[in-house]
Structure 1
Amino acid sequence: MGAWDLLLSGLVILLGLCGVLLPGVPGSWLVWAGVLWWALKDPRPLAWAVLTGATVVLLLSLAVRWALPPRRFRTDVATRRVALYAGTGTVLGFVLIPVLGAIPGFLGGVYLAERLRLGRHGEAMAALRTAMRTGGSSVLAELYACLLITGAWAGAVIVG
């Protein structure tokens, strides 16, 4: 596999990770498409195993998100700021405390954004609970699945 193909698939995966946080962008499907592109260009058994695992994780994520409340986000500046903080917290948590740190990272990011916006702990906690009930849990499930897929892809690229 050439460096340009690897870079292209990595950029599609990165775009998908960012797309999870934006309403209307099929982020998880972009992550899967990046892995698919990589597996088609690098037809080793490891690449196909990662693609199969990515497909299973994506389908499980869809099943989980189907059971969760639907997203009902507003499209204002505060929502974009919360999404940015939550996404950054999720990625940092995923890297600092491998795999399981994504969940407290997401919650911490939402809390920090709301604490900076509202100023008090009690109001920030209430806003965090509201955000998780109005679609934050769905975003967390999708972002977590995409980070798992990205981690498997990155591990396979480094090993291979």
Structure 2
Amino acid sequence: MSVLAEVLVGLAIAVGLVGIVVQVLPGNALVLGAILVWAWTTGGATAWVCFAVAALLIALAETGNWLVAGRHMRRAEVPWSTLAVGGVAGIVGFFVVPVVGLFLFFTLAVLVVEYLRRRDRAAAWRATVAALQATAITIGIQLLGGLLATATWIVGLWLT
């Protein structure tokens, strides 16, 4: 693989890592897809082992993400439907008020939905805080998986 192609794969991985934090792009899918392209074009056992390790790390991160964040949300008694409404509102907010709108619209949507569901301002706020914490947990776990997969790719670059 040429140096330019490796740089482009690295840029795609960087975009994926940013996508994990911003939560608009499918970050780990981009990271894994870029590593797959690298393994495919590089070829050889080392590249494919690196891809397999990266895929395993991302799969573990995604599974851990659902388990840990899901447990956090169940403890706070916040249904997934509330998060779905918040997620849609966050995506709309991202385009209405660039970047800041994602966080703002997500938070307000969760607060409103939980207030309508619970009819208690304090309980709705606690649920909103729990949803924000679960989002932070999700981002952290996904970012860890993406960074470990990236480190695996860097080792693969060095070995091939």
Return the TM-score normalized by structure 1: 0.61
What residue is the counterpart of 1:144 in the other structure?
A: 144
- The answer to whether the 8 A contact 1:5-1:41 is kept is no
- The answer to whether the 8 A contact 2:46-2:156 is kept is yes
Mapped partners of 2:9, 2:134: distance in 1: 32
- The answer to whether the 8 A contact 2:12-2:30 is kept is yes
What residue is the counterpart of 2:38 in the other structure?
A: 38
- The answer to whether the 8 A contact 1:39-1:51 is kept is yes
Mapped partners of 2:133, 2:148: distance in 1: 23
- The answer to whether the 8 A contact 2:50-2:153 is kept is yes
1:77 aligns with 2:100: yes
- The answer to whether the 8 A contact 1:17-1:31 is kept is yes
- Alpha-carbon deviations, 1:110-149, whole Å to 9, x = none? xxxxxxxxxxxxxxxxxxx868623101110000000000
Structure 1 or 2: larger helix share?
2
Any stretches of 5+ residues in structure 1 without a counterpart? 81-128
Corresponding letter in the other structure for 2:7: L
Greater Rg, structure 1 or structure 2?
Answer: 2
Task: Say how many residue pairs are matched.
Answer: 113
Please provide the CA RMSD for this pair.
2.5
- The answer to whether the 8 A contact 2:46-2:159 is kept is no
What residue is the counterpart of 2:159 in the other structure?
A: 159
Which of structures 1 and 2 has the larger relative contact order (alpha carbons within 8 angstroms, sep 6+)?
A: 2
Query: Percent of aligned positions with the same letter in both sequences?
Result: 24
Give 1:23 shift.
Answer: 2.2
Mapped partners of 1:23, 1:143: distance in 2: 11
Any stretches of 5+ residues in structure 2 without a counterpart? 71-79, 94-98, 104-128
Return the TM-score normalized by structure 2: 0.61
Corresponding letter in the other structure for 1:22: V
The residue correspondences of 1:82-121 to structure 2 (distance < 5 A) are none
Give 1:24 shift.
Answer: 2.4
- Give the secondary structure class of the aligned counterpart of 1:13: helix
